[in-house]
């Protein structure tokens, strides 16, 4: 069931699944300012569930995701080795989700390890980009056109495609004028964009391991054995393709 990013729909979905006799749930939770009471209730009643990609800060649960901090570190290292020093990180999520916050922290930590100063102007978050046709009036387009950064790390593949298209509209070439690294491969969105250097998060493995963990929790409940909670982070892989290149001053 799809929550469409809405807490109320997530609550309804969880309750519906339990009503029809589900023995356990895999949940890609809505990241909101308020915790979903249904998830908290399941934790208190020891109902089996596993969270995927996001977790609830301060609430211990079974959780599995790709290591976002490590993914960012690999992206920064790659761009740094290519000579880039003005590296921007971009997220078009309207909320400062747990995932976004962790990746921003990873970005800052990676730059600090290089001895670089953190430029707040290079942390571009909290905006929306719904229509590429309106991109010429978007603040991000002006940022790209004015060459404020030489490299961009985007927290999803679709945003990487938008930045690529904005660069083209601004008369800039990728990777000659700017480099782009995306989280996830945009090929899943548009086949022609198989050129992107990206952080591969192994979603299939995450799904497999999440189901395996959930079955263990369900079996443990049947046997009246309460195992501890587990947090599993999978190591992402940097896949180098054609959207990153040396910084040419």
The total of structural domains in the chain comes to 2
Residue 126, number of CB atoms within 10 A of its CB: 12
Same structural domain, 56 and 101: no
Distance CA 75, CA 83 (A): 13
Give me the pLDDT at residue 57, please: 82
Same structural domain, 179 and 127: yes
What CATH number has the domain bearing residue 139?
Answer: 3.40.50.2300
249 inside domain: no
Same structural domain, 81 and 36: no
Give me the pLDDT at residue 214, please: 96
Please state the three-class secondary structure of the chain as a single string: CCCCCCHHHHHHHHHHHHHCCCCCEEECCCCCCCCCHHHHHHHHCCCCEEEECCCCCCCCCCEEEECHHHHHHHHHHHHHHCCCCCEEEECCCCCCCHHHHHHHHHHHHHHHHCCCCCCHHHEECCCCCCCHHHHHHCHHHHHHHCCCCCEEEECCHHHHHHHHHHHHHCCCCCCCCCEEEEECCHHHCCCCCCCCEEEECCHHHHHHHHHHHHHHHHHHHHCCCCCCCCEEEECCEEECCCCCCCCCC
Same structural domain, 141 and 210: no
Domain of residue 168 covers: 68-200
Question: What tens digit of pLDDT does each residue of 9-62 get?
Answer: 999 999 999 999 999 999 998 876 567 888 989 999 989 999 998 888 888 999
Question: What tens digit of pLDDT does each residue of 48-65 get?
Answer: 999 998 888 888 999 999
Query: What is the arithmetic mean of pLDDT over 82-105?
Result: 88
Same structural domain, 17 and 49: yes
247 inside domain: no
Cis check for the bond before 8: say yes or no (omega within 30 of 0): no
């Amino acid at each position: 069931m799809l929550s469409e990013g809405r807490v109320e729909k997530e609550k309804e979905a969880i309750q519906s699944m339990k009503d029809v006799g589900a023995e356990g749930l895999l949940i890609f939770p809505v990241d909101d300012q308020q915790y979903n009471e249904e998830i908290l209730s399941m934790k208190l009643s020891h109902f089996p569930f596993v969270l995927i990609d996001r977790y609830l800060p301060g609430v211990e649960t079974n959780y599995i995701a790709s290591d976002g901090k490590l993914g960012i570190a690999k992206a920064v290292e790659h761009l740094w080795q290519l000579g880039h020093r003005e590296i921007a990180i971009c997220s078009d999520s309207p909320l400062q989700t747990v995932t976004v916050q962790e990746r921003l922290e990873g970005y800052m930590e990676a730059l600090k390890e290089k001895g670089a100063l953190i430029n707040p102007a290079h942390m571009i978050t909290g905006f929306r980009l719904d229509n590429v046709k309106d991109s010429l009036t978007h603040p991000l387009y002006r940022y790209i056109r004015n060459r404020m950064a030489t490299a961009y790390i985007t927290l999803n593949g679709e945003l990487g495609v938008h930045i690529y298209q904005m660069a083209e509209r601004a008369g800039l070439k990728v990777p000659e004028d700017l480099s782009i690294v995306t989280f996830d491969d945009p090929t899943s969105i548009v086949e022609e964009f198989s050129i992107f250097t990206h952080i591969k998060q192994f979603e299939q493995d995450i799904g497999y391991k999440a189901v395996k963990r959930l079955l263990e929790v369900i079996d443990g409940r049947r046997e009246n054995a309460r195992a501890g909670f587990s947090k599993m982070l999978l190591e992402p892989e940097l896949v180098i393709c054609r959207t990153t290149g040396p910084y040419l001053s």
